[in-house]
Structure 1
């Protein structure tokens, strides 16, 4: 499966309007949780330059390690739609996150950043491949992200754009940088 996604920045005044539009479009909040993502890079490759992702995510008794490959012209469109195959290793429980951090450190991985956010996930029961999230990223801001999981990135891109039009968010600024990079810009 390919994850096709785009995120847009929203203001505090946009947020209630967007949540209302989600409800009107039959999207239901399925979860709200705090996610803490710790990002790493290889010592010989700068993942900030290659726009690769290696992270440990922790949230509400859950933990996983995720890897997303480097961005290329194929994976990152001119319209800032990102289509990458994501590899996730689900950990047994949240306590395993500490072991994962130690494992990556022992392999020589370099700590990059820690991102904390409150994420509300919305799903439409008639469109199970579409996920919309509203993220409040600590010290960075608020965002809406539309994500499609599909085997065909072109079809997913069309669906993503139609979903954004349905939710009337196409006029909001597109954010091409990962949250990791936005947090690092603060320092």
Structure 2
């Protein structure tokens, strides 16, 4: 079983952070607009169980994602299951309707401009996401997907990376929760 280990930080000094990431050799992809539509289970409240179910649309692809409860208080470490949707334009919206028909309720959408990149740090490929969230501002995320046996080393590696960039304490609250507060 794979786990997503993620650290997120509010961006305070954007130009300096981007320069530091460039100095570390980040390879950026183009910026995309993503809309994450979140749904709640008909028989249990995902806000109480710390789970998430979303449909992500970004124009070129659609992903159906389940995130389990967090297992770490310093990072957003959790089981993540993803399924790519074959035809994003048609099937992404059909998937939303499918969930509603099954009794899931729509909670809220998170709309963001996301620029992803890959960064090699201590011989590990780290996914970097530079996000501008509608209604919240700018954030940077660092992510590794690892097996359960590698959780501690992944957390340590991301902590070292964020410290080397002079970032403060990571934010463990998700964008959805921030928007709903």
TM-score clears 0.5:
yes
Residues 103-133 of structure 1 deviation map (CA, whole Å, 9 limit, x = unaligned)? 1001100111100000111212575531111
CA contact (8 A) 2:34 2:113 kept: yes
- The gaps in structure 1 that reach 5 residues or longer are none
Residues 126-151 of structure 1 deviation map (CA, whole Å, 9 limit, x = unaligned)? 75531111110001111111111222
Residues 32-82 of structure 1 deviation map (CA, whole Å, 9 limit, x = unaligned)? 1111000001122111122211000000320010001123xxx122x2x12
**Normalised by the size of structure 2, how large is the TM-score?**
0.91
Q: Is 1:149 matched with 2:145?
A: yes
Instruction: Please give the alpha-carbon distance, in whole angstroms, between the structure 1 residues aligned to 2:81 and 2:137.
Output: 27
Instruction: Please give the alpha-carbon distance, in whole angstroms, between the structure 2 residues aligned to 1:165 and 1:70.
Output: 26
Q: How many pairs are equivalent? A: 176
Instruction: Please give the alpha-carbon distance, in whole angstroms, between the structure 2 residues aligned to 1:5 and 1:55.
Output: 17
Residues 142-166 of structure 1 deviation map (CA, whole Å, 9 limit, x = unaligned)? 1111111222101101111111122
Q: Is 1:139 matched with 2:135?
A: yes
Q: How does 1:36-75 map to 2 (within 5 A)?
A: 36-71=35-70, 75=71
Q: Which residue of 2 aligns with 1:15?
A: 14
Root-mean-square deviation over aligned CA pairs = 1.5
**Normalised by the size of structure 1, how large is the TM-score?**
0.88
Q: Is 1:92 matched with 2:86?
A: yes
